[in-house]
């Protein structure tokens, strides 16, 4: 068995020596980050921050939603900021010396709000005795209800709609970066579809970072087809692009990513009409074409623009080869897929051309 371990080690060392793609991992907690490091990830390519707002902190998020004015909103944000600072410091600590891309909050709103039916039942059952908070919450949740939350007020849209939310996160990132020696923060904006959205966030974030004396790259996810098609403009406000192929696949095909594993809609993809599911392996003709356009136009507008991928495809062998072909700088995938990504990145670099490499 030892011999096997040594053989695998030799192969991995060889792959690392020849690969051109850097391999990072997606990690949301210090534990995930530590695991990613053990599997050989050279950074965190995606730290999703929305999960950090669930659990006990949900009440603060509800306060944020219920806040009638700027002052109340700020009270809720001020309560969240030190908690976020501790979250980020933990991850910077685990990845010391390696880059950590923190994505500003991207929640589908329905995952945050109390369930409308539960809440309505609770208020109805309590009748006259129902608390004021529950009543106000019910009104707010009804008002915020969306038919398609995944296509609704998510990502940068939410960040612009709730003033102070992104700023709170950027302040927390800056504070954590100052606390942890060797922290290398990168800030990533989700669901951008137009350069104007990015410019507003970038200006605010740049000011906060300058005031804190912290340096951090500010980049964007490319996950809305319009962002890929206007990549030349978007590159003007981005230090890096990271392809979010989960959403890019959903929006390019018009397939609901939340339903593709269900018995009903999922069965359609299982019919095999398209061969492999586009959620499994990058669809080169459609999603892949958008990625090529974005990579080329982004780099034409900003030579040296850093390009990565952080959708699930980042750990899929065929997709890793594709990412190599179109000249990405890194792939980021779940920690357990990091070794496979390292290996495939090495194989892609050794292949004469990407297409005959498998």
Chain-centroid distance, C-alpha 28: 10
For residue 234 the two structure tokens come to 């978007």
Q: Which residues of 274-299 are buried (b: 16+ CB within 10 A; e: fewer)?
A: eeebbbbbbbbebbbebbbbbbebbb
Q: Does 37 appear as a known binding residue?
A: no
312 binds Mg ion (CB under 5 A): no
Tokens 């065929």 -> residue: 318
Reference 328, options 57, 4, 86, 45; nearest CA is 45
Q: How far apart are CA 239 and CA 304, in angstroms?
A: 9
Q: How far is the CB of 150 from ligand PEP (least distance, A)?
A: 8
Site string for ligand PEP, 43-72 (x = CB under 6 A): ---x-x------------------------
Reference 64, options 163, 169, 207; nearest CA is 163
Residue 323 is a catalytic residue: no
Tokens 């990830």 -> residue: 41
For residue 277 the two structure tokens come to 């599911």
335 binds Mg ion (CB under 5 A): no
45 binds Mg ion (CB under 5 A): no
User: Hey, which residues between 101 and 120 contact ligand PEP (CB under 6 A)?
Assistant: 106
Other beta carbons within 10 angstroms of residue 98's beta carbon come to 18
Nearer to Mg ion, 25 or 89 (CB): 25
Q: Does 28 appear as a known binding residue?
A: no
Q: Which position among 197, 239, 247, 312 is part of the footprint of Mg ion (CB under 5 A)?
A: 247
Residues recorded for the chain: 358
For residue 39 the two structure tokens come to 């599997």
Nearer to ligand PEP, 46 or 61 (CB): 46
223 binds ligand PEP (CB under 6 A): yes
User: Hey, which residues between 175 and 214 contact ligand PEP (CB under 6 A)?
Assistant: none
Q: Does 26 appear as a known binding residue?
A: no
For residue 25 the two structure tokens come to 């991992």
164 binds Mg ion (CB under 5 A): no
Nearer to ligand PEP, 155 or 317 (CB): 155
Q: How far apart are CA 354 and CA 358, in angstroms?
A: 8
User: Hey, which residues between 212 and 231 contact Mg ion (CB under 5 A)?
Assistant: 223
Residues linked to residue 47 through DSSP beta bridges, in sequence order: 102
Chain-centroid distance, C-alpha 276: 24
Q: Does 356 appear as a known binding residue?
A: no
Q: Does 223 appear as a known binding residue?
A: yes
288 binds ligand PEP (CB under 6 A): no
Size of the site for ligand PEP (CB under 6 A): 10
Active site residue: 47, 310, 323, 333, which one?
310
Q: Is 204 exposed, middle or buried (0-12, 13-18, 19+ CB in 10 A)?
A: middle
Q: Which position among 99, 159, 164, 244 is part of the footprint of ligand PEP (CB under 6 A)?
A: 244
Conformational region of residue 43, where left means phi above 0, alpha means psi within -120 to 50, and beta covers everything else: left
User: Hey, which residues between 311 and 340 contact ligand PEP (CB under 6 A)?
Assistant: 311
Q: How far apart are CA 227 and CA 287, in angstroms?
A: 12
Tokens 């809305």 -> residue: 224
Q: Is 74 helix (H, G, I), strand (E, B) or coil?
A: helix
Q: Which position among 245, 252, 319, 334 is part of the footprint of ligand PEP (CB under 6 A)?
A: 245
Q: Which position among 244, 278, 288, 298 is part of the footprint of Mg ion (CB under 5 A)?
A: 244
Q: How far apart are CA 354 and CA 356, in angstroms?
A: 6
From the list ligand PEP, Mg ion, none, partner contacted by residue 87 (C-beta under 5 to 8 A by kind): none
From the list ligand PEP, Mg ion, none, partner contacted by residue 311 (C-beta under 5 to 8 A by kind): ligand PEP
From the list ligand PEP, Mg ion, none, partner contacted by residue 245 (C-beta under 5 to 8 A by kind): ligand PEP
Q: Residues within the annotated binding site for Mg(2+)?
A: 223, 247
Catalytic residue positions?
310
By CB under 5 A, name the binding residues for Mg ion: 223, 244, 247
By CB under 6 A, name the binding residues for ligand PEP: 46, 48, 106, 223, 244-247, 310-311
Q: Residues within the annotated binding site for substrate?
A: 48, 103, 223, 244-247
């Amino acid at each position: 068995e030892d011999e096997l371990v040594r053989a695998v080690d030799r192969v991995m060392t060889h792959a690392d020596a020849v690969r051109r793609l850097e391999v990072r991992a997606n990690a949301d907690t210090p534990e995930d980050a530590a695991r990613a490091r053990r599997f050989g990830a050279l950074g965190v390519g995606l730290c999703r921050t929305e999960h950090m707002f669930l659990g006990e902190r949900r009440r603060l998020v509800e306060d944020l939603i219920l806040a009638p004015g700027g002052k109340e909103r700020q009270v809720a944000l001020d309560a969240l900021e030190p908690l976020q600072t501790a979250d980020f410091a933990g991850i910077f600590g685990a990845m010391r010396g390696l880059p950590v891309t923190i994505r500003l909050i991207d929640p589908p709103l329905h995952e945050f709000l109390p369930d409308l039916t539960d809440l309505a039942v609770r208020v109805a059952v309590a009748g006259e005795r129902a608390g004021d908070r529950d009543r106000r919450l019910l009104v707010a949740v009804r008002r915020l209800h969306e038919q398609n939350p995944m296509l609704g007020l998510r990502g940068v849209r939410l960040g612009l709609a709730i003033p102070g939310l992104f700023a709170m996160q950027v302040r927390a990132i800056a504070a954590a970066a100052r606390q942890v020696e060797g922290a290398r923060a990168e800030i990533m904006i989700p669901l951008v579809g137009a350069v104007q959205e990015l410019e507003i966030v970038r200006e605010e974030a740049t000011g906060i970072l300058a005031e804190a004396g912290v340096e951090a790259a500010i980049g964007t996810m490319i996950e809305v087809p319009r962002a890929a098609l206007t990549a030349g403009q978007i590159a003007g406000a981005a230090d890096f692009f990271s392809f979010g192929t989960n959403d890019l696949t959903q929006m390019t095909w018009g397939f609901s990513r939340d339903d593709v594993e269900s018995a009903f809609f999922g069965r359609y993809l299982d019919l095999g009409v398209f061969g492999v599911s586009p959620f499994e392996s990058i669809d080169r003709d459609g999603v892949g074409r958008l990625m090529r356009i974005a990579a080329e136009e982004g780099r034409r507008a900003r030579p040296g623009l850093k390009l990565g991928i952080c959708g699930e495809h980042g750990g899929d062998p065929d997709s890793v080869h594709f990412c190599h072909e179109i000249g990405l700088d890194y792939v980021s995938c779940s920690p357990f897929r990091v070794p496979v990504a390292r290996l495939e990145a090495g194989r892609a670099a050794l292949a004469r051309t990407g297409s005959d490499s498998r």
